[in-house]
Amino acid sequence: MSHTNAIQLDAVSKSFDGFKALSEASFVACWGEVHALLGENGAGKSSLMNIAAGLYAPETGSLLINDNLVRLKGPLDASSQGIGMVHQHFKLVKPFRVAENILLGLRTDQALSYRKRLQQTAEQIKATAAKLGFSIDPFARVDQLSVAEQQRVEILKVLLAGARILILDEPTAVLTDAEAEKLLTTVKNFAHQEGAAVILVTHKMNDVMRYADQVTVMRGGRTVASLKPQSVTVGELVKLTVGDAPTPPQVPASRAAGEVKLQVQDLHSSGSSSTALRGVNLSLRAGEIYGIAGVGGNGQSELANALMSLPEPVTGEIRLTGEGDIRMLSPARRRQLGIACIPADRYSAALAAPLSISDNFALGEIHSGRYGPFWFLRRGRIDADTAAAVREFDVQGVRSLQQKAALLSGGNAQKLVIAREFNRQPQLVIVHSPSRGLDVRATLAVHERLRSARDAGAAVLLISEDLDEVMALADRIGVMSAGRIIGEFAQPADRQAIGQAMVNHV
């Protein structure tokens, strides 16, 4: 097994809009190793890896591949050097099919017809997916896939393009325990048996301890440590990464929940997607968190969309106590009723990335008249409310309330969404994968907000493909499979029984 340097970044600096994202950061990954990269949201991990992937150019410093100095002019240059990055926020063309997305990144025989090249790509997809331990329909439209399935497409895309240096940004954030184990075992084999280099950007300490050969820790745009994970305990690694993070409280064994707040009855998707809803039934009470667990692609996204009034044609009923069926209610009326929604994809469904932070915050109250009429908004009041929320919810990286929301790191963008949704005390909270891609500290902050909402009497529906998250938060757990709830578990629940229900039900 060769352990010479595959990729090396030395003294790299990078600024955005006057903010120094990287300050002389360094990183070295070797062939034949899985190298984990740890740090809080905004620590500079993604910025550093985006430089390695050719998306950003460094202001200072150097990049070496195989100990040779290279200057990447863009992602195609990086790809030609054997570098492939699977981003936390995917780079897929949503209306295209899986095979069409992957074909975009391949160098194929142009003498063949497009149809023939597409067919060859589809066969490669099936073969590589089988080798990785999952199956995916090469002719499914990407916008009809779950977040977890889209991630798999991204991994296939870079591997089929010939990546030998594979950068995975939060790869297990949306996977179940069994899926994560399969994926990480596969990439570990890819590194150890085929001599590739795998860089794992993650916040899951157990993944680092179990699968990484080396770990580098970043904080505030700088590299603070590089060591073998086996040489430290999980607690020491957490402290090195985020400082003294508070211990999350344990879920109480049972809680006295209030009246039924939300009743979902016989919900079906009218689309023909393989992930369609096929008769979802559930009830949610005031003062409880109901967690929905399941393997990605079993209808969770469709259920979240239907409950959040995102485009999802459904039949059946979604009844809110005192209001009746709310399927056709406008977003403004939903907000009046105290319904808060936190979607899985914060950038495409919760924030308007090109708009300012204050504009994004104000969107939640525009219809209420708090900021005046549409044609004469009271900017002073908007900015004052936004500033107060940014302080209260600890949104970091805000240099100006007028900066674009797109410039916030994933964790801080999520905090902004939660600040807006919890600005009024919500009565019903619908949340999908709330801590996807967040570090330990940001995850605990999000979880604390959800617990606080429950304790204040709100009904909270948590949909998450992270079983750890569901187990830590939920008072009751429903398992979703093949488009319906196939079992319910009261806390304290048997994790193994839930896992079995998730993977064994047909």
**pLDDT tens per residue, range 373-394:** 877 888 999 999 999 999 988 8
Residue 274 lies in a domain: no
Residue 281 lies in a domain: no
Residue 473 lies in a domain: yes
How confident is the model at residue 265, as a pLDDT?
93
Residue 271 lies in a domain: no
Q: Rounded to whole angstroms, how far apart are CA atoms 230 and 237?
A: 10
**Which residues touch 464 (CB under 8 Å, ≥6 apart)?**
291, 292, 293, 432, 433, 434, 435, 470
Based on the fold, state whether residues 118 and 188 are members of the same structural domain.
yes
**Which residues touch 394 (CB under 8 Å, ≥6 apart)?**
415, 445
How confident is the model at residue 274, as a pLDDT?
56
Residue 22 lies in a domain: yes
How confident is the model at residue 28, as a pLDDT?
97
> How much is the mean pLDDT over the chain?
86
How confident is the model at residue 245, as a pLDDT?
46
pLDDT means over runs of 10, the chain (506 residues): 82 84 95 91 85 94 95 92 87 93 83 90 92 85 85 89 91 71 86 92 84 92 93 83 54 65 90 73 95 84 87 86 87 86 84 92 83 84 93 87 88 88 90 80 85 94 88 93 89 82 60
Q: Whole domain around residue 14: which residue ranges?
A: 5-242
Q: Are 505 and 321 in contact (CB under 8 A)?
A: no
Based on the fold, state whether residues 388 and 475 are members of the same structural domain.
yes
CATH number at residue 444: 3.40.50.300
Give the domain-ending residue among 242, 264, 297. 242
How confident is the model at residue 22, as a pLDDT?
94
Based on the fold, state whether residues 49 and 141 are members of the same structural domain.
yes
Helices (H), 195-275: 205-211, 234-242
Give the domain-ending residue among 186, 209, 242. 242
Burial level of 111, CB count in 10 A (0-12/13-18/19+)? Answer: exposed
How many domains in the chain? 2
Based on the fold, state whether residues 196 and 335 are members of the same structural domain.
no
Q: Are 443 and 247 in contact (CB under 8 A)?
A: no
Residue 318 lies in a domain: no
Amino acid identity, position 212: A
How confident is the model at residue 444, as a pLDDT?
85
How confident is the model at residue 256, as a pLDDT?
61
**Residue whose entry in the numeric block shows the structure tokens 């109250």:** 365
Residue 92 lies in a domain: yes
Please name which of 352, 384, 378, 380 lies closest in space to residue 366, comparing C-alpha atoms. 378
